[in-house]
Amino acid sequence: MTPIPEFGKLQPQARELEEAVLGALMLEKDAYSIVSDILKPECFYEHTNQLIYSAIVDLASRQQPIDMLTVTEQLRKRGDLETVGGAYFITELTGRVASAAHIEFHARIIAQKYLARELIRFSSEVQTKAFDATNDVDDLMEEAEGKLFEISQRNVKKDVTQINPIIKEALDNLQIASNRKDGLSGLQTGFHALDKITSGWQNSDLVIIAARPAMGKTAFVLSMAKNMAIDYNTPVAVFSLEMSNVQLVNRLIVNTCEIPGEKIKSGQLTTAEWDQLMTKIKGLYDAPIYIDDTPSLSVFELRTKARRLVREHGIKLIIIDYLQLMNASGMNFGSREQEVSTISRSLKGLAKELNIPIIALSQLNRGVETRQKEDKRPQLADLRESGAIEQDADMVCFIHRPEYYKITEDEKGNSLLGIAEIIIAKHRNGAVGDVRLSFKGEFARFQNMNEDMLRPPVKENVAIYKSRMYDEPETSPYNIQTISPSTNNNEEDFLKRENFSDQPPF
């Protein structure tokens, strides 16, 4: 037993239980299957016990019987028999236990002692490095976070569950979905065609939304976040690794207030536009949207912040913009592809742990650009840097705007101007397909097709609607009879005559 100099205490250990577990493993033929996912050789405190358990693991991997004689022979082959105390010590181990009745309970205690020793070792290393003034504190924090994450992952074990309670949970979810008027089982996005094919974003799903630059990835998720937070009061967290929080909010203001981004940047707004801004921006106040603009966010920082957001603010959806800007600091990788694989796998694990959907934006490689003009639609093979993204994701969606590639008509001759296609290329729990949305580039806004026709006129925009009706009486999108301007000088009379309301006409 070796004391730790810094603390003057013995390391956490359970030598008697270690010997009891080893003895039980050599007595009961099925005992190893009970502890194999709990214990690793390094979990044992005594080096001799580590060697004995390693010999048992070797026998099990070759599906050979595990007993006193086979373990002794395996140790002899490995050259470790004399090190552990010879055949006599192996005999003693089996004589100290009567059965393997409590082997799982004993194994879990051994595993907990091992984790405690790892935490002590980890904290001691951090303390030593923190005293060294040559170490950068930020780098040390990232390294410490990475190692702590590794330790915590070793203890993430979930027992199997008999099917009955799972059936009950599934039926409860089905009952909840049946009581909803929209018929959806997940979170509504406000994009009706998309919700119909996905049934809403589902809890524990990792959704990848990928596109080439300038396709509108950020605009799409911001339009969606605005819909969910304002229309459905769904708390949303946005982790923006590319833009500052002020830039992101400016994009939201442009999206919500429908004022061109150039004017928002310059501040050169007309009086009418200022009125429009101040009226519509009220909808953003108190919206349950939480923004984090930490640059080069690590997956470990994300876990910590996400847990806190769910606990303190009841977050129902997390958006990450975008995946390739994240890192897994504190861990060593042979390539960037391995790092991205770890990130995507961790995001899926986090979605399951928090039981909420996580949407991560992703870049596509340049393969799209090299293809013929008629074949610019993204494919799963275009996902950048790692095939693991495709494997880990429950759903992969692509954003495609044919107009960007000068494709203005589809094969049927229909106009593609202002049209965005959301291509659902992978859907683990449902159908794949294409969804068309309207894209307003000047407002960085995605919306349902023909949404303008569904939106009722509001008082502050009366002049705009009157202008439309007078200029284009035959094609008025609101199906309102035209009125001579000379009979409509009073705005209140105009509103009263047309019987405008605050509710959509459909």
Q: Which of 383, 398, 413 is the endpoint of a domain?
A: 398
Q: What is the tens place of the pLDDT at every residue in 33-88? A: 888 878 888 889 889 888 999 999 888 888 888 888 888 888 898 888 888 888 88
The answer to whether the CB of 446 falls within 8 A of the CB of 216 is yes
Distances (CA, A) of 61 to 33, 65, 497: 11, 10, 84
Q: What is the tens place of the pLDDT at every residue in 404-445? A: 888 877 777 778 888 888 888 888 888 888 888 888 877 888
- The Cα–Cα gap between 424 and 429 comes to 12
Compute the average pLDDT of residues 23-40: 83
Of 346, 234, 254, 261, the C-alpha closest to 300 is 346
Co-location of 338 and 222 in the same domain: yes
- The Cα–Cα gap between 185 and 319 comes to 20
What CATH number has the domain bearing residue 94?
Answer: 1.10.860.10
The answer to whether the CB of 442 falls within 8 A of the CB of 434 is no
- Report the amino acid identity of residue 44: F
What CATH number has the domain bearing residue 238?
Answer: 3.40.50.300
- Structurally, how many domains does the chain consist of? 3
pLDDT at 334: 66
Co-location of 224 and 150 in the same domain: no
Co-location of 392 and 333 in the same domain: yes
| 142 assigned to active site | no
Is the residue at 378 inside a domain?
Answer: yes
Co-location of 118 and 223 in the same domain: no
Co-location of 228 and 355 in the same domain: yes
The answer to whether the CB of 338 falls within 8 A of the CB of 371 is no
Co-location of 144 and 207 in the same domain: no
Is the residue at 194 inside a domain?
Answer: no
Co-location of 39 and 143 in the same domain: yes
The answer to pTM > 0.75 is no
Co-location of 488 and 378 in the same domain: no
Residues 6+ apart with CB under 8 A from 471: none
Confidence band for 332, pLDDT divided at 50, 70 and 90: low
Catalytic residue selected from 46, 242, 390, 403: 242
pLDDT at 318: 92
Co-location of 66 and 207 in the same domain: no
Highest mean pLDDT among 119-123, 301-305, 364-368, 472-476: 119-123
Is the residue at 394 inside a domain?
Answer: yes
Is the residue at 306 inside a domain?
Answer: yes
pLDDT at 478: 32
Is the residue at 291 inside a domain?
Answer: yes
Q: What is the DSSP letter of 206?
A: E
Co-location of 137 and 208 in the same domain: no
Q: What is the mean pLDDT of the chain?
A: 77
Highest mean pLDDT among 397-401, 439-443, 470-474: 397-401
**Which structural domain range is residue 148 located in?**
3-154
